[in-house]
Amino acid sequence: MRMLSAAEAIDMAGIGVGPANLSLAALVHPHSEITAKFFERTGEFQWHPGMMLPSAKLQVHYLKDLVSLVDPSNPFSFLAYLARKKQLLSFINANFDQVLRCEFNQYYRWACSQLPSLQFNSDVRSIEFENGFFMLRGDDWVQPARNLVLGTGQQPSVPACAQSFIGETLFHSSQFMTRQRSLKDKRVVVIGGGQTGAEIIQYLLSDASALPASVTWVSRRWNFCPLDESPFTNELYSPQYSDHFFGLPQHVRQALLAEQKLASDGISQSLLESIYRRIYELKNVLHHACKIQLYPGRELLGISERNHHWSLSMVHGHSQVREELSADTAVLCTGYEYRVPACLEGLESRISRHAGGYVVHDDYSIEWDGPQGSAIYVQSAARSQKGIADPNLGLIPWRCAKIINSVCGHALYDLVEPESLVQWGATEVFDEVTDARFDRLAALANWSSGAW
């Protein structure tokens, strides 16, 4: 291993290359005064490959790409990609309501191919703070850096009762495309009534010649609920709302997150319509034998293995009646959660914690006991403090521009926002809110704190 000296320290070391740190790399690229490198454990960029279903659509406007929100003239915009590929006019004429996720993956990969600061096959194994620098260590390399940006994303959340059974026929949705074999004539149970569960249901029902014997869709929510994509709800995905949310007391933020659940975790309207129509066709027009069962309002309680199949026990929310389902294959669409990356273990005792999360500052640096000028920034890890937009794509460029401004100490990107369309603020409004309302919101927060 070649040991690097402190003189070779870079300004910014990014851990992980998903859309978040890729945006950071794209936005820092034109500014050679900031030295940056980004380390990714996989051999190439792939955006959630286990869920890259052929018809999966982006759940955000395509202009919410890597850079446009803060600098549409940056060469790594989605429009620049389309122009470079000579497909801009066709794209305009196609007039898509939603872009395929695999097209955005291709766009991301195109950006990767031109950013020399990205280093793939570079798993960051440990990070220590030595002699005033973060020392990142991989298998056969070491890199000193003045600042860190954690972009390691969220990890699959698997219910405790399922953890010991994960394998070929019972798995989390993040492994759907890599694990699943032919499910023709099998009994398939999909657990989780969010967008991911819906995408898998649509996929399972799409090919009439390969349909399972039965498809059962279980959701903890009382129905298969739509994503709220109305314009005022979309304001929750604005810098102004994120700033406002950040200034609220923690218990209010927690309650609001529960109230805003369907603004981030519902199913897109077009997908719900497509699934409903497909079920209609299979039942009433094609008279297909595939048994389709829709079970909302149920919570998974336990799993057992019985004679080469799974027995899934549920409780029906309103009646508390117990039900058993048999499955040859069960897919857990039970969401994602943030976990502190293992490579941070060496710094863990120096990092402040509040309510299980980092203590995040306005510029996305977190509180730790290191010296000034040595910051640890976090991406997609501050939902409880910055709002529902935080783990999604929409505000990534704005967050990255904030991080860049913070690292270089002046406003390289102009982030002065116009006045918010909606007046979220006004402390007196909160003074008037009764404790009873907070209690109700807090109860809601407890009930729906799981991602599914």
Ligand X SMILES: Cc1cc2nc3c(=O)[nH]c(=O)nc-3n(C[C@H](O)[C@H](O)[C@H](O)COP(=O)(O)OP(=O)(O)OC[C@H]3O[C@@H](n4cnc5c(N)ncnc54)[C@H](O)[C@@H]3O)c2cc1C
Tell me how crowded residue 294 is: count the other CB atoms within 10 A of its CB. Answer: 16
Interface residue with ligand X among 41, 61, 109, 309 (CB under 6 A) is 41
Shortest CA distance to 242 belongs to which of 366, 396, 377? Answer: 396
Interface residue with ligand X among 59, 180, 216, 384 (CB under 6 A) is 59
Interface residue with ligand X among 20, 36, 236, 403 (CB under 6 A) is 20
**Complex with ligand X: residue 310 or 357, whichever CB lies closer:** 357
Query: Buried (b) or exposed (e) across 55-77, using 16+ Cβ within 10 A?
Result: ebbbbbebebbbbbbbbeebebb
Query: Buried (b) or exposed (e) across 16-41, using 16+ Cβ within 10 A?
Result: bbbbbbbbbbbbbbeeeebbbbbbbb
Q: What is the DSSP letter of 304?
A: E
Residues 268/57, Cβ–Cβ less than 8 Å? yes
Residues 282/208, Cβ–Cβ less than 8 Å? yes
**Complex with ligand X: residue 34 or 344, whichever CB lies closer:** 344
* Interior angle at CA 221, CA 219 and CA 222, nearest 5: 105
Q: What is the DSSP letter of 417?
A: P
Interface residue with ligand X among 144, 151, 212, 266 (CB under 6 A) is 151
The answer to whether 152 contacts ligand X (rule: CB under 6 A) is yes
The answer to whether 268 contacts ligand X (rule: CB under 6 A) is no
Size of the site for ligand X (CB under 6 A): 31
The answer to whether 18 contacts ligand X (rule: CB under 6 A) is yes
Residues 283/291, Cβ–Cβ less than 8 Å? no
Interface residue with ligand X among 380, 384, 385, 406 (CB under 6 A) is 380
Report phi then psi at 162, rounded to 5: -105, -15
Q: How far is the CB of 219 from ligand X (least distance, A)?
A: 17
Shortest CA distance to 395 belongs to which of 60, 83, 108? Answer: 60
Give CA–CA dist 379/161, Å, rounded.
30
User: Of the listed pieces 357-365, 368-376, 385-393, 433-441, which binds ligand X according to CB under 6 A?
Assistant: 385-393
Q: Which residue in this structure is represented by tokens 């939902």?
A: 383
The answer to whether 343 contacts ligand X (rule: CB under 6 A) is yes
The answer to whether 66 contacts ligand X (rule: CB under 6 A) is no
**Complex with ligand X: residue 233 or 311, whichever CB lies closer:** 233
Q: How far is the CB of 76 from ligand X (least distance, A)?
A: 15
The answer to whether 326 contacts ligand X (rule: CB under 6 A) is no
Shortest CA distance to 90 belongs to which of 82, 80, 98? Answer: 82
**Complex with ligand X: residue 26 or 343, whichever CB lies closer:** 343
Interface residue with ligand X among 10, 60, 190, 215 (CB under 6 A) is 60
Q: Which helix (H) or strand (E) holds 337?
A: strand 336-337
Q: Tokens representing 168?
A: 């070929």
Interface residue with ligand X among 147, 379, 385, 406 (CB under 6 A) is 379
The answer to whether 394 contacts ligand X (rule: CB under 6 A) is yes
Q: How far is the CB of 185 from ligand X (least distance, A)?
A: 27
The answer to whether 347 contacts ligand X (rule: CB under 6 A) is no
User: Of the listed pieces 47-55, 270-278, 286-294, 366-374, which binds ligand X according to CB under 6 A?
Assistant: 47-55
Residue ranges binding ligand X (CB under 6 A): 15-21, 39-42, 47-48, 51, 58-60, 123-124, 151-153, 336, 341, 343, 379-380, 391-394
